[in-house]
Amino acid sequence: MENHIKVSIKNLSLWYGSNQALDQITMDMPEKKITAIIGPSGCGKSTLIRCLNRMNDLIEGCRTTGEILIDGQNVYDRRVDAVEVRRRVGMVFQKPNPFPKSIYENIAYGCRIGGINTKQRLDKIVKESLKEAALWDEVKDRLSDSAMKLSGGQQQRLCIARTLAIEPEVLLMDEPCSALDPIATAKIEDLLRDLKRDYTVVIVTHNMQQAARVSDYTAYLYLGKLVEFGPTRQVFEKPEAELTERYITGRFG
Amino acid sequence: MKPKDALSCWIIFLGSAMALIGFGSAAGSFYIGDALLRLLFVLLGISLLLLLPTSFRLAKQKRSFCWMVAFAAISFALAYLVPSAPPKVGLRDYSIDASLMKFMISSLALVITGPVAASAGFGPLFNFTKHAHQASAYCFLTIAILLILYPLGLIISEISVNGLPGITWEFLTQDVSKHGAEGGIFPALVGTILLIGLTALIALPLGIGCAIYLQEYAKRGRLVRVIRTAVNILQGTPSIVHGLFGLAVFVPLFGISLLSGALIMGFLTLPIVIRTSEEAIRSIPQEIREGSYALGATQWQTIRKVVLPPALPGVITGVVLGLGRAAGETAPIMFTAVYFMGARVPGSLLDPIQALPYHLLELTRYWGAYPVEQNAWATAFLLLAIVLGINAGGIILRERYRQEF
Ligand SMILES: Nc1ncnc2c1ncn2[C@@H]1O[C@H](COP(=O)(O)OP(=O)(O)O)[C@@H](O)[C@H]1O
Ligand SMILES: [Mg+2]
Taking contacts as CB-CB distances below 8 angstroms, the residues of chain B near A84 are 296
Closest CA to B334 of B271, B241, B266: B241
Name residues of chain B where pLDDT drops below 70: 1-5, 8-9, 12, 15-16, 18-34, 51-65, 67-68, 71, 75, 78-148, 150-151, 219, 341-343, 403-405
Check residues B1 and A243 and name the one with the higher pLDDT: A243
Tens of pLDDT along A112-156?
A: 998 888 999 999 999 999 998 889 999 999 999 999 999 999 999
Tens of pLDDT along B192-231?
A: 999 999 999 999 999 999 999 998 888 677 888 888 888 8
Q: B333-372 in b/e burial notation, b at 16+ Cβ within 10 A?
A: bbbbbbbbbebbebeeeebbbbbbbbbbbbbbebeeeeeb
Q: B160-172 in b/e burial notation, b at 16+ Cβ within 10 A?
A: eebbeebeeeebe
For A109, A111, B99, B278, B331, the CA distances from B405, given in Å and listed in that order, are 16, 21, 60, 20, 41
Ligand (nearest to CA of A38): 1
For B18, phi then psi, to 5°, come to: -70, -35
- Cα–chain-centroid distance for residue B40? 31
- Specify which residues A202 forms β-bridges with: A35, A172
For A205, B318, B327, the CA distances from B241, given in Å and listed in that order, are 61, 22, 17
Position B176 scores a pLDDT of: 80
Position B95 scores a pLDDT of: 44
pLDDT band at A8 (very low <50, low <70, confident <90, very high): very high
Q: Name the architecture of domain B172-401.
A: Orthogonal Bundle (1.10)
What is the domain partition of chain B in residue ranges? Answer: 3-165, 172-401
Chain A interface, best mutation among B216, B219, B295, by max A CB count within 10 A: B295
Question: A13, A14, A15, A16: which to mutate for ligand 1, most atoms within 8 A of CB?
Answer: A16
Q: A92-104 in b/e burial notation, b at 16+ Cβ within 10 A?
A: bbbbbbbbbbbbb
Closest CA to B118 of B22, B259, B246: B22
Cβ separation B297–A98 shorter than 8 A = no
Distance from CA of B291 to the nearest CA of A (A): 7
Atom 7 of ligand 1, nearest CA residue:
A16
Give dist(CA A158, CA A181) in Å, integer.
Answer: 16
- Report the Cα–Cα distance between both ends of chain B, in Å, rounded: 48
Ligand (nearest to CA of A223): 1
How much is the pTM? 0.74
Position B90 scores a pLDDT of: 45
- Cα–chain-centroid distance for residue A251? 27
Query: How many whole angstroms from A44 Cα to the centroid of ligand 1?
Result: 6
Position B89 scores a pLDDT of: 46
Cβ separation A162–B295 shorter than 8 A = yes
Position B94 scores a pLDDT of: 41
Q: Which helix (H) or strand (E) holds B140?
A: helix B130-163
Contacts of B288 (CB under 8 A, 6+ apart): A97, A99, A100, B306, B307
Position A179 scores a pLDDT of: 81
What is the residue-averaged pLDDT of chain A? 91
CB-defined contacts A:B, below 8 A: 67
Query: A176 at the B interface (CB within 8 A)?
Result: no
For B165, which DSSP code?
G
* Chain A residues 37-76 within an 8 A CB cutoff of chain B: 53, 55, 58
Cβ separation B296–A113 shorter than 8 A = yes
- Report the Cα–Cα distance between both ends of chain A, in Å, rounded: 32
Closest CA to A172 of B77, B295, B284: B295
ipTM for the complex shown: 0.93
By the 8 A CB rule, do B355 and B338 touch? yes
* Chain B contacts to A (CB-CB under 8 A): 285, 287-288, 290-298, 301, 305-306, 309-310, 404-405
Residue B37: half-sphere exposure toward Cβ, Cα within 13 Å: 27
Ligand (nearest to CA of A45): 1
Number of residues assigned to chain B: 405
Q: B286-316 in b/e burial notation, b at 16+ Cβ within 10 A?
A: eebbbbbbbbbbeeebbbebbbbbbbbbbbb
Atom of ligand 1 nearest to the CA of A17: 4
Whether the pLDDT of residue A59 is over 80: the answer is yes
Average the pLDDT over A2-14 and give the result: 89
Whether the pLDDT of residue A223 is over 50: the answer is yes
Tens of pLDDT along A177-189?
A: 888 888 888 888 9
Distance from CA of B324 to the nearest CA of A (A): 29
Strands, E assignment, chain A: 5-16, 19-30, 34-38, 62-70, 73-74, 89-92, 170-174, 200-204, 217-222, 225-231
Closest CA to A248 of A214, A217, A211, A213: A211
Whether the pLDDT of residue A225 is over 90: the answer is yes
C-alpha Rg value of chain A to the nearest Å? 18
Position A239 scores a pLDDT of: 85
